[in-house]
Chains A and B, each alone.
Chain A
Amino acid sequence: MTPKLKKSLLYWLLLSPLCVVILLPFGIMFVTALRPRDELFVYPPTWTFSEFRWENFAEMWVKTNFGGALLNSLYVSLTSTIIAIVLSIPAAYALSRYRFSGKGLYRNFLLMTQMMSPIVLVLGLFRLMVHLNLVNSLNSLVVTYVAFNMAFTIWMLQSYFNTIPRELEEASWIDGATSFTSLVKIFLPLAVPAMVVTAIFTFINSWNEFVLALTLIRSQNDYTLPVQIFSQVAGRYQVEWHHVMAATVLATVPVAIVFSWLQRYLIRGMALGAVK
């Protein structure tokens, strides 16, 4: 046996308990989503079931108003991602390319906002939205998600911008480009991958947010997915677990796939910025 193979076996052995614990609930999610309703509560509980009930998904879609919640989630996540990126690009560019007084202060300010969690401020935020007449409006979520994500997006963009050599822009100025041409023809094309990656992470953050969505949205029609699914579970005597699990499958699997595909960028970002 080669040393590498030996090492691999050892590592997988060490990692397996964690992997099992991580994957187990997903397995449970799938087998629950697919089993007939009357096989949910059998004693003793078992993994096996009589048939694959794909209809569960269709039923769930109608009964839980999944489509509506999906649209709400999409609206909130897309809008807040776009706004966050649009506001963050100039700020990240300034941090990466200019020296100016107050730069250090601004970076520390961003760090502070990143640390402030929605939950501690949730009461104040709720009252703010009441003042602005935004309670029950999805836009209240958009605004707050942008604000709470901005530190992350600026930091992430900045650490990528720093890897684009400043000389490229200088060379283009000497070649006769205006600042604007240089930005459009040289800088932005090179920054596209960074912007896409950052946007996707922001999207996932917004997609998964719970506390603010639970607090600022009061009417069932405007629930986002996490709140909608939670509302199927919380405070009910009769929970339709097969529907809940079917909804969870639809809400998590696409995001998990995209995230898995992108996680190495996050690690690289950490290495670049060393968690700054």
Chain B
Amino acid sequence: MASVTISGVEKWFGTLQILHGIDIDIEDQEFVVLVGPSGCGKSTLLRMIAGLESISDGEISIGTRMINDVPARDRDIAMVFQNYALYPHMSVFDNIGFSLKLRKRSKQEISEKINEAAEILDLTPYLERSPRQLSGGQRQRVAMGRALVRDAQVFLFDEPLSNLDAKLRVVMRTEIKALHQRLKTTSVYVTHDQIEAMTMADRIVVMNKGRVEQTGTPMDLYDFPANLFVADFIGSPSMNFIEGIVAADNEGPFVMAKDRTRLAISRESSAALGQKVVYGARPEHLVLASGNEGFDATIEVIEPTGPNIQIFADVAGQRICALSTERRTHKPGQRIRLHCPETSVHLFDASSGARI
């Protein structure tokens, strides 16, 4: 097991730059999730760690060894592919054991290791089958098994769950996490699903357009998103944004939205008067208020999800979403007041998008 250091890494495809100087330090035994919208370069970065793409500039090290020019087979990494990449002409047993066979381990050691991995992954009854005869979840497990027997320094995962149905995805998510807690192998996991990222990661790296937007623990990213992109990307349903200008009156500072709606902010906020900002509030922080606390909203749509009721309402000409656990029946068209505690408000500079 080892740490992974990525410094100043760039990727060019011909004249097209895909990665613009990536710096990430992954500690030994850490489970890091790379997350970001489609096409932002997550897979490319992962494949560069794996040795499947050349590194145009910068350095990647595993442990203390710089691996830029080390071929994939000598990097001592294991990888689980999105489509599993199981060898269709080999049985499950041979699929899992292929790497050991290439390393010329003894027959006995190979079968011991395969059986052990099969035990962990509940694959024992399927060892003689060919990949064609397995369900999606079982194939996924075989791909995991192939990584498991390796005792590799680093595990790489490229959206390993995206081909599974929603239920199985949740199950496998927990299994992979449990596996990591048991083996403690340094892992880099790529996904575009922020819930997967939140639930599995020790640390999340949010990427966008070939750049790292923010790195931190799931809760850090959730509570203190560094910019509008991260704030929008992390959390579901995602954060509500209302544009406005910072103003103050005798009740304290506030953000004035376009239609002069008053959105209160904390007295400690470092936003300057007159600054153009974006006011952000997570749906679960918006509560139904009474009296003159908060601001006016007109209900447009109600969506019950079971544990919650999602209330979509018009505030200052923009549609926002609030979560309510109250079973009270609201109706579209109804006017309500919503309130977000000042300490839960996120403020971003309107032009740079950076957190204030």
Contacts and interface: CB of A to CB of B under 8 A. Distances in A.
B200 to A, nearest CB: 21
B222 interface: no
A173 B83 CA distance: 16
Given A176-B103, A177-B73, A181-B102, A171 B85 contact: yes
Contacts of B78: 174
B99 interface: yes
Contacts of A177: 73, 102
A174 B102 contact: no
Contacts of A170: 50, 52, 72, 79, 81, 85
Contacts of A17: none
B146 interface: yes
B83 A178 contact: no
A170 B99 CA distance: 13
Given A173-B52, A176-B99, A168 B87 contact: yes
A232 interface: no
Contacts of A168: 85, 87-88
A162 to B, nearest CB: 15
Contact of A173 (B71, B103, B146): B71
Contact of A175 (B71, B89, B102): B102
B83 A167 contact: yes
B77 interface: yes
Given A167-B83, A174-B72, 17 more contacts: A167-B81, A167-B85, A170-B52, A170-B72, A170-B85, A171-B81, A171-B85, A172-B87, A173-B51, A173-B71, A173-B72, A174-B50, A174-B78, A175-B102, A175-B146, A175-B150, A178-B73
A165 interface: yes
A174 B51 CA distance: 8
Interface string B70-102: 011101011101010101110000000011001
11 contacts: A168-B88, A170-B52, A172-B98, A173-B71, A173-B72, A173-B73, A174-B50, A174-B73, A174-B75, A175-B146, A176-B73
A266 interface: no
Interface of A: 165, 167-168, 170-178, 181, 186, 189-190
B347 to A, nearest CB: 44
Contacts of B87: 168, 171-172, 186
B142 to A, nearest CB: 11
B77 A176 contact: no
Given A165-B85, A170-B81, A190-B89, A175 B98 contact: yes
Interface residues of B, number: 22
A186 B99 CA distance: 13
Nearest to A164: B88
Contacts of A171: 79, 81, 85, 87, 146
B89 A189 contact: yes
A190 B88 contact: yes
A168 B78 CA distance: 14
B174 to A, nearest CB: 25
Nearest to A168: B85
Contact of B83 (A165, A174, A175, A190): A165
A51 B73 CA distance: 72
Contacts of B77: 174
A181 B98 CA distance: 11
Nearest to A167: B85
Contacts of A173: 51-52, 71-73
Contacts of B150: 175
A167 B89 CA distance: 14
A174 B89 contact: no
A63 B87 CA distance: 55
A181 B101 CA distance: 12
Contacts of A189: 89
Nearest to A169: B85
Interface in B114-171: 146, 150
